[in-house]
Chains A and B, each alone.
Chain A
Amino acid sequence: MTPPPVTTAATPIVEHGHAVGHASAHAPQGGLSHFLSTYVFSKDHKVIGLQFLFSTLLWFLIGGLLALAVRWQVAWPWSDVPVVGKLFAQEGGQMSPEFYTMLFTMHASVMIFLVIIPILAGAFGNFLIPLMIGADDMAFPTLNMLSYWFMWPAFACFGASFFVEGGAASGGWTSYPTLSTNPASSPASGMGQTLWLLGLTFVGVSSMLGSVNYMTTIILMRAPGMTMFRLPMTIWAMFITAILQAFALPVLTAAGFMQLSDRMLGTGFFSPEGNVVNNAIAGAGGGQPLLWQHLFWFYSHPAVYIMILPAMGMVSDILTVFARKPLFGYRPMVYSIAGIAGLGFIVWGHHMFMSGMNPALGITFMVSTMMIALPSAVKTFNWLGTLWGGKIQFTTSMLFALSFVSMFIIGGLSGIFMAATPVDIFIHDTYFIVAHFHYVLFAGTAMGVWAAIYFWFPKMFGRTMNEFWGKVHFFLTFIFLNGTFFTMHILGAVGFPRRLADAYHYETFHHLQPLNAFMTYCAIGMVATQVIFAANFIYSMFWGPVAGRNPWNANTLEWTAPSPPGHGNFDYQPIVHRGPYEYSVPGVEKDHLMQTDPPNAAAATAAAAAH
Chain B
Amino acid sequence: MGKRLAGIFWSLLFLAVPVLGVATFAIAPAYDHWLPKDVSEHGASIDSLFYFILALTGVVFVVTEVLLFWFMWKYDEAKNQGEATYIQGSHTLEVVWTIIPAATLLFLAIYQMNAWADVKMRRPAMSPTVEVVARQFEWRLRYPGRDATLGTADDLFLVNDLHLPIDEDVLVQLKSMDVLHSFFLPNVRIKQDAVPGMKIPVWFKAREAGSYDIVCAELCGWGHYKMKGRVTFEPRAQFEAWLERKYAEQGTTQPPPEAADVATAQ
Contacts and interface: CB of A to CB of B under 8 A. Distances in A.
Interface stretch (B61-69, B144-152, B154-162, B252-260): B61-69
Contact of A487 (B24, B67, B218): B24
B97 to A, nearest CB: 5
Given A332-B89, A421-B116, A505-B228, A359 B121 contact: yes
Interface stretch (A236-244, A301-309, A408-416, A556-564): A408-416
Contact of B21 (A100, A290, A486): A486
B90 interface: yes
A176 B200 CA distance: 18
Contact of B221 (A101, A374, A425): A101
Contact of B116 (A275, A289, A362, A512): A362
Interface stretch (A112-120, A153-161, A375-383, A445-453): A375-383
B10 A399 contact: yes
Contacts of B109: 366-367, 370-371, 419-420
Given A290-B195, A378-B94, A500-B225, 15 more contacts: A172-B219, A179-B219, A275-B196, A355-B193, A356-B195, A370-B109, A381-B93, A405-B68, A410-B61, A420-B53, A422-B115, A425-B191, A505-B226, A506-B213, A591-B84
B184 interface: yes
B205 interface: no
Interface string B1-26: 00100110010011001001100110
Interface string A324-359: 111111111000000000000000000000111001
A606 B256 CA distance: 98
A493 B86 contact: no
A443 to B, nearest CB: 10
Interface of B: 3, 6-7, 10, 13-14, 17, 20-21, 24-25, 28, 32-36, 45-46, 49-50, 53-54, 56-57, 60-61, 64-65, 67-68, 71-72, 75-77, 80, 83-90, 93-94, 97-98, 101-102, 105-106, 108-110, 112-113, 115-117, 119-121, 136, 177-180, 182, 184, 186-187, 189-198, 200, 212-213, 215-226, 228
A170 B224 CA distance: 12
Interface stretch (A40-48, A141-149, A214-222, A578-586): A578-586
Contacts of A14: none
A414 B36 contact: no
Interface stretch (A2-10, A53-61, A180-188): A180-188
30 contacts: A101-B221, A186-B221, A273-B197, A331-B89, A356-B200, A359-B120, A362-B116, A363-B113, A366-B109, A367-B109, A370-B109, A371-B105, A374-B98, A392-B75, A393-B77, A410-B61, A413-B61, A417-B50, A423-B53, A426-B35, A429-B218, A475-B13, A494-B33, A494-B34, A494-B36, A498-B219, A499-B224, A499-B225, A501-B224, A591-B83
A179 B93 contact: no
A430 B21 CA distance: 19
Nearest to A418: B53
B61 to A, nearest CB: 6
A377 B102 CA distance: 10
A359 B98 contact: no
B266 to A, nearest CB: 15
A388 B197 contact: no
B115 A417 contact: no
Contacts of A97: 222-226
A387 B178 contact: no
B196 A289 contact: yes
Contacts of A328: 87-90
Nearest to B103: A374
A325 B85 contact: yes
Of the candidates B17, B112, B219, the one having the most CB atoms from chain A within 10 angstroms of its own CB is B219
B98 A378 contact: yes
A374 B34 contact: no
Given A391-B83, A500-B225, A607-B86, A276 B178 contact: yes
Contact of A171 (B50, B53, B72, B219): B219
Contacts of A326: 86-88
Nearest to B181: A179
Contacts of A393: 77
B260 to A, nearest CB: 25
Contact of A388 (B14, B71, B120, B221): B71
A419 B50 CA distance: 11
A323 interface: yes
Nearest to B56: A416
Contacts of A402: 10, 14, 68, 72
